[in-house]
Structure 1
């Protein structure tokens, strides 16, 4: 039925549970996984920041976010390898995370999005928002939500 799962993760404790459940599902389905991490863009320079200082901070940001994404995807890949599930990892920098998740899943030819939710409730969603709800509303692909 589903052969290519797209699984966005962020490196949190919730991501670790997502690794386990999505790998188990892919194993049962005989599917492969594309793991995905969206990292934030560097902050824009301010009027008071010197260009050389900004460029240095942007480069440090790039290195830090790339290292975080790679470490997260390496942990995910280890879970997949242990179960014999084919895995590919990718990351992008974006401030429009929800749109980037949806478009990247389509770019990779995935047929199911698998996401976790924090389950914060109405007040938590009002304050923090919900990437999962936003992805569900934007995606033409089916979305499986882990809670």
Structure 2
């Protein structure tokens, strides 16, 4: 059976539900969990007729992304602890979340990626979210998709 789950989370309602289901699954199987949050990279400033569109500094952007990641991951780790499931967390910065998810699973030695069918970006595909599809396509680690 699976011993170490990677559970990507973005704080969306479905992702939060997936965290709860993954904790239950881990408790039943005796698995550990690594919760993962993919932070976006700082967007390149865009100019339009000489006007800066996004005046946020890279440092402020990173600070806000780190705070968001810490909050979401703390809630997930706390949910696991309440259920008696060993858990840790990792935040990775990437504009390609699917790559960050797969890399985190490989780096942490996970044997199952347990993820939501859609995230914050909404339904960008008929059946699955685009990041979920990409993880399914590119991961050598088994993927369980929760809807």
Q: TM-score range by the shorter chain?
A: 0.7 to 0.9
Q: How does 1:116-135 map to 2 (within 5 A)?
A: 116-118=116-118, 124-125=124-125, 130-135=130-135
More helix per residue: 1 or 2?
1
**What is the TM-score of this pair, normalised by structure 1?**
0.87
Structure 1 segments (4+ residues) deviating >4 Å: 46-50
Q: How does 1:1-147 map to 2 (within 5 A)?
A: 1-46=1-46, 57-118=57-118, 124-125=124-125, 130-147=130-147
1:23-52 per-position Cα deviation (integer Å, ceiling 9, x unaligned): 0000001000000000110111346589xx
CA root-mean-square deviation: 2.2
**Partner SS, residue 6 of structure 1:** strand
Summarize the Cα distance change of 1:129–1:86 in structure 2 as closer, same or farther, 3 Å threshold.
Answer: closer
Q: Equivalents in 2 of 1:132, 1:45: separation in Å?
A: 28
User: What stretches of structure 1 of length at least 5 have no aligned partner?
Assistant: none
